[in-house]
């Protein structure tokens, strides 16, 4: 661990590799897995771990989404290799439902609708060879907002739904590009479904787009979706969580990547339709040029709804390394993050996603790691 990590407590946990780089005959083509997303469905105590399968590590070489299933058993987790499903390769149905012709699927973002027991897997598709930088440079969005659903916890999936025209509509002409998550979405206690997202808005050929976080949300169990208003100021890849005080009042909390050197936080009193003025979380330092992070709310006492927050992100201020977990017992307070953080992986690490699981006292993390972040691994601990 970096000696500059004062206030850190190192306690690396055993990690189980779920997706690992696959050397190919060609030195340039190294099948790589990136961009983890994790969801735990308590109905049948099942984890679903998602990632992008890429032809190389480059964003423009993303190809299809992959999924692996794990089962919580007797206080532990069994990850079955037999349940490894490559979306878009091993099943013709998944090939046609999770992909669009001549597009690559990116940024998995799952959310579970409790009443209808429907699993939504949101993602974007982008034309092959078109980078985010190229879209921003030309101020012309080419990303599509898509999802597939499953009624049987990932055994089978629906056909693809492309929401771009219906939800974004005419606003798309003012967007340079956008993406969801990556990482899990949220269903609030009121039943609203929240998909975190960010956009590079630009309504002038002379402007330089600056990314801003926002939500896609549904008040109808996922049958219709709407577009929330952007957070004021610069913010990027984000995750969100519902925070509840000791009186049962709730707000939606947003934690976003930023180029400012610290994470950006914002609260919404309208369940994601709009956000209050954002603030810079000075206790949550960004890493290098920034990195995605994960946030999760949980009730430490099952007798009350009051929630705390967990946040996971590389703790090294210069490079993506030493993945740590931070705790905030007073999430309505911008300065509530504790000074001490727990290092759960003492080595190269990047994007991550958190989930509460099992008996409610255990937490799982799906993370990019390895010598050069060439694999995605799973950790589950109390």
Angle at 216 between CA 210 and CA 217, to 5 degrees: 150
Task: Specify the higher pLDDT residue, 154 or 161.
Answer: 161
**Quick count: other Cβ atoms within 10 Å of Cβ 356?**
17
pLDDT of residue 99: 85
**Which of 166-175, 249-258, 373-382 is least confident?**
373-382
Mean pLDDT of 296-320: 92
> Is 70 exceeded by the pLDDT of residue 154?
yes
Alpha helices in 73-120 (DSSP H): 92-98
- Calculate the CA 139 to chain-centre distance: 25
CA 273/CA 112 separation, integer angstroms: 20
Write down the CATH number for the domain with range 15-381: 2.120.10.10
Catalytic residues, by residue number, are 59, 351, 368
Distances in whole angstroms, Cα of residue 162 to Cα of each of 24, 168, 219, 240, 256 = 33, 11, 18, 23, 25
Angle at 313 between CA 290 and CA 284, to 5 degrees: 75
Distances in whole angstroms, Cα of residue 379 to Cα of each of 15, 331, 348, 357 = 5, 24, 15, 12
Give per-residue pLDDT as tens, 19-72: 888 766 665 667 888 999 999 999 888 899 999 988 888 898 888 899 988 888
Mean pLDDT of 108-122: 97
CA 21/CA 206 separation, integer angstroms: 41
Give per-residue pLDDT as tens, 212-255: 999 999 999 999 999 999 999 999 999 999 999 989 999 999 99
Residue 83 burial (10 A CB sphere; 0-12, 13-18, 19+) = middle
pLDDT of residue 84: 34
Give per-residue pLDDT as tens, 180-223: 999 999 999 999 999 999 999 987 666 788 999 999 999 999 99
> Is 90 exceeded by the pLDDT of residue 90?
no
- Of all residues in the chain, the percent with pLDDT exceeding 70 is 87
**Nearest 5°: phi and psi at 137?**
-65, -40
pLDDT of residue 81: 36
């Amino acid at each position: 661990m970096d000696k500059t990590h004062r206030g850190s407590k190192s306690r690396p946990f055993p990690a189980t590799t779920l997706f690992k780089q696959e050397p190919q005959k060609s030195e340039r083509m190294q099948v790589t897995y990136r961009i983890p997303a994790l969801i735990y469905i308590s109905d049948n105590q099942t984890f679903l771990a998602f990632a992008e399968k890429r032809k190389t590590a480059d964003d423009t070489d993303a190809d299809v989404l992959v999924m692996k299933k794990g089962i919580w058993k007797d206080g532990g987790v069994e990850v079955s290799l037999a349940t490894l499903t490559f979306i878009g390769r091993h099943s013709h149905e998944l090939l046609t439902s999770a992909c669009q012709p001549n597009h690559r699927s990116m940024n998995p973002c799952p959310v579970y609708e409790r009443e209808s027991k429907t699993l939504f897997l949101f993602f974007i598709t982008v034309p092959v060879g078109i980078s985010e930088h190229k879209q921003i440079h030309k101020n012309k969005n080419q990303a599509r907002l898509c999802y597939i659903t499953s009624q049987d916890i990932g055994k089978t999936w629906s056909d693809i739904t492309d929401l771009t025209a219906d939800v974004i509509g005419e606003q798309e002409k003012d967007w340079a590009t956008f993406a969801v998550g990556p990482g899990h979405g949220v269903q609030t206690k009121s039943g609203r479904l929240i998909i975190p997202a960010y956009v590079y808005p630009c309504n002038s050929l002379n402007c330089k787009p600056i990314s801003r976080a926002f939500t896609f949300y549904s008040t109808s169990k996922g049958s219709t979706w709407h577009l929330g208003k952007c957070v004021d100021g610069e913010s990027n890849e984000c995750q969100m969580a519902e925070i509840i005080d000791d009186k049962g009042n709730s707000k939606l909390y947003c934690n976003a990547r930023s180029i400012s050197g610290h994470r950006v936080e914002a609260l919404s009193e309208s369940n994601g339709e709009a956000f209050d003025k954002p603030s810079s979380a000075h206790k949550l330092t960004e890493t290098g040029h920034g990195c995605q992070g994960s946030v999760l709310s949980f009730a430490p006492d099952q007798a009350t709804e009051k929630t705390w927050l967990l946040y996971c992100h590389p703790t090294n201020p210069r490079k993506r390394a030493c993945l740590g977990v931070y705790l905030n017992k007073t999430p309505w307070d911008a300065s509530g993050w504790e000074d001490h953080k727990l290092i759960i992986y003492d080595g190269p690490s990047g994007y991550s996603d958190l989930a509460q699981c099992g008996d409610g006292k255990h937490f799982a993390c799906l993370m990019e790691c390895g010598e050069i972040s060439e694999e995605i691994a799973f950790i589950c601990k109390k």
